A and B are shown apart, each in its own frame.
Chain A
Amino acid sequence: MSPARLHPLLLGYAIFLAFVLVAPTLIVALMSFSAGVLLRFPPQGFSWRWYGYFLGADTWTRSIETSAEVGAATAAISAVVGTLMALGLVRGRYRWPQLLNGLVVGPMLVPPVVIAIGLYFMFVRLHLVGTYSGMIAAHTALALPYVVVVVSSSLRNFDRTLERAANSLGAGPVRTFFKVTLPLILPSVGAGALFAFITSWDELIVAYFLSTPAVRTLPVVMWGAAQDTTDPTLAAVATFLSVITVAFLLIARLLGYRTRAA
């Protein structure tokens, strides 16, 4: 298929839309390289000083570590649990598949504030507020649907004759899963895990409710900084956050293509 020629008006509209979507991020990125001491646009001069500053400050680096740890744990747990859930949803036989599906993707539809408040009151009783496990559990709940959706779709397209072939060749269910099914859906599981990481990495609201000064993720610290500082450090942190998110999204997309091609 040859690419259709875009109408000039449509092309203009597309460019305008892309600009509106990307501009805020670009402006923040530009401001982060400012040589001046105030967060303003256009930036004055060019320097890396704010990056140096934020990477040298304990508060920032600690929160980056916290975010990375929470994100990695969320990704790992979501990948395993989400894959199992997807297997159950796609392969299982039960009465109301729609209902179960709805329950699984539910967290995607409920406003984050509602989830945050609910989790907060529950976690206070369980003494999970301000703990890594609490943060990871909450983010896993938010991230699971992404893994389930991505892995389910790859399982639905999975040619089950391959599993029958493995059975006929003498492989039991466990061997069949680990040698045939899992390797073939692995790109989707990986993509799901990356989505889960990103979900956790830039999540503010739930993290804000569950954080204490000891356990604070990057977005929570940024929120605080946005309230009471005016230097471009915040812009540098934001740019750092965005670059990581975009990189992970790109990898996830590539993995998605690989699954479809297989």
Chain B
Amino acid sequence: MSGALSLREVSKTYDRVRAVDRISLDVVAGEFVTLLGPSGSGKTTTLQMITGFVDPDEGQIILDGRELTALASHRRNIGMVFQNYALFPHMNVEQNIAFPLEARGIDRAERRRRIGRALDLVGLGGFERRLPRQLSGGQQQRVALARAIVFQPPLLLMDEPLGALDKKLRDRLQLEIMELSRTLGVTVIYVTHDQEEALAMSNRIAVFHRGRIEQVGPPAELYERPASVFVAGFVGDSNMFTGTLDAEVLRSGPWQLRVDRAKTACLGHATAATIVVRPERLRVEPASVGDEAGLAGIVRQAIYLGATMKYVIELSDGRRVNARMHAGSQSSSIGVGDAVGVSWDIADGIVLPGEPEQTSLAGEPDGSP
């Protein structure tokens, strides 16, 4: 199987700003890898260097043992799906999909066969004669997908392909794209800033931050064992307690929070550190249980989400944390305005060096993975 991609120490500088800073990434053939990061983190520039729209200043990009950087983009044989679909408005669906086949000099009969197959794969059989403007956004993106796979490229790149679609359609197309990529066995590099999408679709996720890859790993690993405060804040919801590490506790505001010293051995004394706790790992108990209940707080919001309840709790020092529990458990006894104690198992408190940046999404009480 082909489609193995390797980025080695790839860099790109724009006007003295390192848009991409010595990135290395190995993608196995057939793998679905998402480049996740906020805008300006370098993920799109990385994608454009793979397609050949942008030349790297340094480094190598290797696809199936072949160095790509010297190849013009039209010789790279890589499929690409754009956020705004980029369908040719003067061509109908069939002509759009025929375009890459014509460029490769494939004869009429074979073109016909392949176009039919590609349209069936994306569920748009019978739309051959429509013009792009006669199609809905979702249909246009399906045509773009068909056009990008019809010439059987070993590698398929997708640049926020679902960004312009509404939530429901996005969810459906996510599943379709995953199935399609598995059916075809094509390697997919998928760019998004939507962490839910990344978690849902990928074999592995590469989290981009300021032109570097902060962490690469399967979705569960990023969620359970984030390597940095940035990753913890960007992937999934989290509560963060920032302070100074001291022996077995983290001094954070009025509290001394116990930490698992075995896991923080590499962190020195008196260094700035952050404890990250996922909302579903927080225990919320009525304050009457006693002093052992943990950090004191007052429930400010209780939101019913069907399977789960979400609580926003204001701690005694004024900061807010999110907690999530199965609806119908003991939580039902907790309501807005109640005094509660918030705690967690030491093992669920992820200790990371450094502090969250103001710009990250850390602690934002919205979004639900």
Residues of A within 8 A of B (CB): 159, 161-162, 164-173, 175-176, 179-180, 183-184, 262
Contacts and interface: CB of A to CB of B under 8 A. Distances in A.
B191 to A, nearest CB: 14
Contacts of B148: 168-169
Contacts of A166: 74, 88, 99
A178 to B, nearest CB: 12
B256 to A, nearest CB: 55
Contacts of B99: 166, 169, 171, 179
Contact of B90 (A161, A165, A175, A262): A262
Contacts of A161: 82, 84, 86
Interface centre among B76, B99, B104 (most CB of A within 10 A): B99
Contacts of A183: 90
Given A175-B103, A179-B99, A167 B88 contact: no
Interface centre among A164, A170, A172 (most CB of B within 10 A): A170
Contacts of B104: 170
A168 B78 contact: yes
A165 B74 contact: no
A161 to B, nearest CB: 5
B151 A170 contact: yes
A168 B74 contact: yes
30 contacts: A159-B84, A161-B82, A162-B88, A164-B53, A164-B82, A164-B86, A165-B80, A166-B74, A167-B52, A167-B53, A167-B73, A168-B51, A168-B73, A168-B79, A168-B80, A169-B99, A169-B100, A169-B103, A169-B147, A170-B77, A171-B99, A172-B74, A173-B74, A175-B103, A179-B99, A183-B90, A184-B89, A184-B90, A262-B89, A262-B90
B90 A167 contact: no
Interface centre among B53, B72, B75, B151 (most CB of A within 10 A): B53
Contact of B151 (A164, A169, A172, A173): A169
Contacts of A171: 74, 99-100, 103
A262 B147 CA distance: 21
B43 to A, nearest CB: 17
Contacts of B72: 167, 172
A53 to B, nearest CB: 47
- Say whether chain A's binding surface is mostly helix, strand, loop, or mixed: helix
Contacts of A176: 74
Nearest to B76: A168
A262 to B, nearest CB: 6
Nearest to B151: A170
A258 to B, nearest CB: 11
Interface in B277-305: none
Interface of B: 51-53, 72-80, 82, 84, 86-90, 99-100, 103-104, 147-148, 151
A159 to B, nearest CB: 8
B89 to A, nearest CB: 6
B74 A167 contact: yes
Given A167-B72, A170-B75, 11 more contacts: A164-B53, A164-B80, A164-B86, A166-B99, A168-B79, A168-B80, A169-B74, A169-B99, A170-B74, A176-B74, A262-B89
A147 B119 CA distance: 41
A82 to B, nearest CB: 21
A259 B51 CA distance: 29
Contacts of A167: 51-53, 72-74
Contacts of A180: 88
A170 B79 CA distance: 9
Interface centre among B84, B87, B89 (most CB of A within 10 A): B89
A180 B88 CA distance: 7
Contacts of A162: 86, 88
Contacts of A164: 51, 53, 73, 80, 82, 86
A58 B252 CA distance: 102
A184 B82 CA distance: 19
A176 B90 CA distance: 13
B86 A165 contact: yes
A150 B142 CA distance: 35
A81 B84 CA distance: 32
Contacts of B87: 165
Nearest to A161: B86
Nearest to A179: B99
Nearest to A184: B90
Contacts of A170: 74-75, 77, 100, 103-104, 151
Nearest to A186: B90
A168 B47 CA distance: 12
Nearest to A175: B103
Nearest to A170: B103
A245 B73 CA distance: 46
Contacts of B52: 167
Nearest to B157: A168
B299 to A, nearest CB: 49
B105 to A, nearest CB: 10
Contacts of B78: 168
A176 to B, nearest CB: 8
A180 B87 CA distance: 10
A171 B102 CA distance: 9
Contacts of A173: 74
A213 B58 CA distance: 68
